[in-house]
């Protein structure tokens, strides 16, 4: 059990709901860093599977979110980040699909090829990178919530900010289960623009906190 109290009642649906909120991408960074750290710690062999791939830079595009994820799957310093759109990213490949589908895929609970056959999932660009990603995440049993929670206990000082931010966001998400669930289905995304100005303000405030985890020693010396 994590020592920071009982785990919030998170489920992939809830996390999806949390993500689907029209948050500025920068707010997600601490959570994404945490998730990556958790995955790397629990599944050290995962990114090794990219060692033969040149420039393993992927865009993961949940079609029902107003943002995309950028995964730099460099075996030595993998990094996941969220951006508004993929326009200026020189990704080698893009994977597109509904967020929940992508989450299920991440956790190996659904057959990626079957989704591709049924056209629920589409891919573009360097197919080799996509196949490597699929095989890599499928090679381990990722349980994204469990993996993240497993980190909350033994974390050292520098990561507490990330944990704090993440925990805060999780807690907020947990308080609001119903509306989040609705958000998955409803076009709450369209409110994104409306809320953008207010959120930009918030974005500035957490900017500092959000950047700190990105400079953790574990991630130093990797990418330019």
Beta strands in the chain (DSSP E): 57-62, 68-72, 79-83, 93-97, 122-125
Among the listed residues 123, 145, 148, 149, the single contact to other proteins using CB under 8 A: 123
Among the listed residues 29, 34, 50, 106, the single contact to other proteins using CB under 8 A: 50
Among the listed residues 128, 176, 203, 207, the single contact to other proteins using CB under 8 A: 128
Closest separation in Å from C-beta 28 to other proteins: 26
Please report whether residue 189 would count as binding other proteins according to CB under 8 A: no
Helix axes 144-152, 160-175, angle to 10 degrees: 130
CA distances 101 to 8, 121, 171, Å, are 22, 8, 24
Among the listed residues 32, 80, 136, 162, the single contact to other proteins using CB under 8 A: 136
Q: Which stretch binds other proteins (CB under 8 A): 24-32, 60-68, 129-137, 193-201?
A: 129-137
Please report whether residue 41 would count as binding other proteins according to CB under 8 A: no
Neighbouring residues of 8: CB distance < 8 A, sequence distance ≥ 6: 170, 171, 173, 174
Neighbouring residues of 210: CB distance < 8 A, sequence distance ≥ 6: 26, 27, 29, 30, 165
Q: What dihedral do alpha carbons 8, 25, 118, 113 form, nearest 10°? A: -80
Among the listed residues 85, 141, 201, 204, the single contact to other proteins using CB under 8 A: 141
Give the per-residue contact string, 83-102, with other proteins (x = CB under 8 A; - = no): --------------------
Please report whether residue 204 would count as binding other proteins according to CB under 8 A: no
H-only helix segments in 139-191: 144-152, 160-175, 177-185
Query: For residues 129 and 184, which CB has a smaller minimum distance to other proteins in the complex?
Result: 129
The residues of the shown chain that bind other proteins, judged by CB under 8 A, are 45, 49-50, 52-53, 105, 108-114, 116-119, 122-136, 138-141
């Amino acid at each position: 059990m994590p020592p920071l109290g009982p785990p919030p009642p998170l489920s992939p649906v809830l996390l999806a709901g949390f993500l689907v909120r029209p948050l500025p991408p920068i707010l997600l960074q601490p959570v994404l860093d945490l998730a990556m750290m958790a995955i790397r710690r629990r599944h050290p062999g995962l990114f090794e599977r990219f060692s033969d791939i040149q420039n393993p830079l992927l865009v993961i595009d949940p079609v029902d979110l107003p943002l995309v994820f950028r995964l730099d799957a460099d075996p030595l310093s993998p990094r996941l980040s969220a951006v508004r759109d993929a326009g200026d990213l020189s990704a080698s490949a893009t994977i597109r699909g509904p967020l929940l589908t992508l989450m299920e895929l991440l956790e190996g609970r659904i057959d990626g090829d079957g989704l591709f056959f049924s056209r629920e999932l589409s891919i573009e660009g360097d197919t080799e990178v996509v196949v490597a990603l699929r095989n890599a995440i499928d090679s381990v049993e990722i349980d994204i919530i469990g993996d993240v929670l497993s980190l909350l206990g033994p974390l050292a000082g520098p990561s507490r900010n990330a944990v704090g931010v993440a925990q805060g966001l999780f807690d907020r998400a947990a308080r609001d289960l119903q509306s989040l669930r609705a958000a998955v289905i409803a076009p709450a995304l369209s409110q994104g623009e409306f809320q953008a100005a207010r959120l930009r303000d918030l974005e500035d405030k957490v900017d500092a906190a959000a950047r700190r985890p990105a400079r953790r020693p574990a991630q130093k010396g990797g990418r330019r």
